[in-house]
Amino acid sequence: MARIHVTVSLSVLLAVAGLQSACVHCYVTGVGEEEGPVVTTRYGKIQGLYADNATLFLGVPFAAPPVGSLRWEAPQDSKSWGENVYNATTYKPACPQFHCETLSPPLVCHKKMAEDCLYLDIYGPRLTSASGLPVMVMIHGGNFVHMSGSSPIFDGRYLASSREIILVNINYRMGALGFLVTGETTNDARGNYGIQDQVMALKWVQENIHAFGGDPSKVTLFGQSAGAQSTLIHLTLPESAPYFRNAIVESSPIAIPYKRFPEAIILGGLFAELVGCQPRNMNCLRSKSANEITYAQYLARSKVSSLKLLEFFEPWGPFVDGQFIKAEPLALIREGQFSRKPLIIGTTSEETVLYVYSAWNTSVNNVLYGEVIVATYPGHAVEIIYMYPPSYPRDERDTMVKMSTDLVFLCPTRNATRIMRASGVSDVWMYVWDHAFSFQGWGPITFCEGRVCHGSEIVFLFHTEAKGNFTFTPEEKVLSEEIMDFWTNFAKTGDPNNPGRNSTGNKSGRSATALQWPVYAQDGDWPAFRFKTPASIIDTNYHGPYCDFWDTIGYAA
């Protein structure tokens, strides 16, 4: 059987990635733009701008540029700019990445890239004297190799202004620049720099967000895909615990195993060879340009081959170093090593359509389907095939989608939630996003049209459909307001159902949903809020028998 090479990023092909517009460079629309407030941080004064009923501070440095001798080093504190006023009125470049624009439609990708990329963007309501507002810090997805907090799809001006919250979108080093491992000495690249960048950004928010009207004691950390994985990591990191109060986890592939040291070294050696250096020759590696680095990391990931299903997802990313990251989040959650914080967690209903149809771009017959199962779970192949029997003799990819969505996303999410609930986390809310776009929003990714692919909720959460010249149906407008209400209510009060006694609600003219979202119960059925049209519902046992099966089998191949 031929080996399968996967080069397509799971998250870079988001539902929102399909947004296409003639205005691909229009990161700030120009509508209502004018000089905004000047605030004072511990580093100096910062000039913002007003746009579209929101206050924006764009491209704010939260760490020193990770260039030169600071490449493959832990992030360093940013320096003060003294008496000067820092101009925060334009977006800064995204962290280096290879051909994001050729692998996904344009609005997912920032048009400019640079290794000096440790910046964040702050969105707030257009209030000159607002203070004590809840803060939401977003970690973007992109398979740890693509995208940016400044990607237009994450434009936060509507979310922040309509709900009166402060939104902070952060960048972090990705790919080889963020996760290369060459050895264990102080002279080596030791990986996990991207996660350390995120910790630095969270620390910056704690120390400075009050200047922008935010309350540092009311920080909600959230992210989708790789950002959701990162959020779970921070729930298990003692270093991160003081920096946020609540967490929202959107579509984390929880069952994906992280690399251990031998696997990380193999990838690092392959990368060094491809960039033209000897393994562990840090002088040579630091002499290479960011373009050379990202091209070599792309070639290295394209050479990662395996028949194990879970190893296809993430060639670059966090690795278990035994010190900073001691294990995968699911393993640490099982051991009780996590912060007990209020949590919203969930998935889409067809997470792996992107993965399966990208990995197998032609039909998969039932024989090949069986071979993949045997290669992935040899000890339980018969049981898995019995649970997910071949149903389409000419093409079993949809069967693979059902199986892998349950295995990688949905069921380990339920498993982690049950463990947290049993370990004393009483405030946990689960959801399933079960709505496909009404519009042609996937661009060249035609196999996601009409499907609830990975990332389908993002355009609704940020209400950025207009950036792709798309129009929500009346039902989709309600759905968008619904998810915005729940997420921001949670940020304000720790309860998605409660907007707060003194809250102004939203300014959209629509009241919050009348449907109450029950907390997850420790025993019995598990209630999930199922976001869908024509109306959302509470599903009391979504995929229950399948998740019971995987809980018995286990999530490690």
Cis omega (within 30 of 0) for bond into 125: no
Q: Tokens at residue 517, please?
A: 């979202």
Taking the CA atoms of 408, 410, 413 and 414 in sequence, report the sign of the dihedral they define: negative
- Radius of gyration, CA atoms only, the chain: 22
DSSP single-letter state for residue 407: I
Question: Which residue out of 115, 350, 351, 465 is catalytically annotated?
Answer: 351
Q: What is the rounded CA–CA span in Å between residue 225 and residue 144?
A: 9
Q: From the candidates 140, 454, 463, 543, which is the catalytic residue? A: 454
Active-site residue 273, yes or no?
no
3-state SS, residue 41: strand
Among the listed residues 11, 151, 225, 251, the single catalytic one is 225
- Whether 454 is catalytic is yes
Q: Residue 547, exposed/middle/buried by CB under 10 A (0-12, 13-18, 19+)? A: buried
Determine the Cα–Cα distance for residues 500 and 489; give it in Å rounded to an integer: 7
Q: How far apart are CA 93 and CA 151, in angstroms?
A: 10
Residues in the chain, total: 557
Residue 546 CA neighbour count, 13 Å, CB half: 20
Structure tokens at 326: 């001691």
- CA–CA separation, 265 vs 227, rounded Å? 24
Within a 10 A sphere around the Cβ of 286, how many other Cβ atoms?
Answer: 16
555 to 103, 153, 329, 376, 428: CA distances (angstroms)? 30, 33, 13, 11, 22
| Closest CA relative to residue 428, chosen from 352, 341, 489 | 341
Q: Residue 356 carries which side chain, given as an amino acid letter?
A: V
Element (H, E) at 204: helix 193-208
Picking from 99, 108, 104, the residue whose alpha carbon sits closest to that of residue 155 is 108
What's the CA gap between 71 and 73, in Å, rounded? Answer: 5
Which residues belong to the active site?
A: 225, 351, 454
